[in-house]
Amino acid sequence: MEIIITKGDITEIKCDAIVNAANNSLLGGGGVDGAIHRKAGPELLKECRTLGGCATGDAKITKAYHLPAKYVIHTVGPVYRDGHHDEAQLLESCYQRCLEIADEYNCHHLAFPSISTGAYRYPILAAAKIAVLTIQNYQEKCLKKVEIVCFDDYTYSIYKKVMEEKK
């Protein structure tokens, strides 16, 4: 499985599924979540209302509507407190569950944002190490390409550095 790091807007990525860094309600919010909901259109919110929310560390899938992907996999990352409240395990679980769901839905190309590093304040270097290691260790069935889409130069530089170290 190919893992690539790109800089850009995840709502513009043409792939089988994009991952939404959502909140527990799945009903939209700020950052990546708000951008995905705005671009997907009101149909996404309508479908999300039927899902009953999502636990931290888990993931659920919907159609992508007006996005250039087939699906949106919504995952709820942990709010970073101090690193002693299972944050690392919960973040790893987010990536793992998204990969499993992508395979279950026969996705070949999956795009992730940097989960929990915005409003949820997870330190980017620690989050990048968890993301890259979890993806590298995943035993894929259908997935051929996993893309980590970084919104800004700083996040991109951290993920690139982590990828170089993990080769």
Residues acting as catalytic residues: 33
User: Would you say 33 and 21 are in contact if contact means Cβ atoms under 8 Å apart?
Assistant: yes
H helices of the chain, in order, are 31-40, 42-48, 87-104, 124-137, 153-166
Locus of tokens 């790109």: 6
Q: Which of 97, 99, 148, 155 is nearest to 126 (CA)?
A: 155
Alpha carbon 15 to its chain's center: 13
Instruction: Report the DSSP beta bridge partners of residue 75.
Output: 21, 59
Other CB atoms closer than 10 Å to residue 98's CB: what's the count? 28
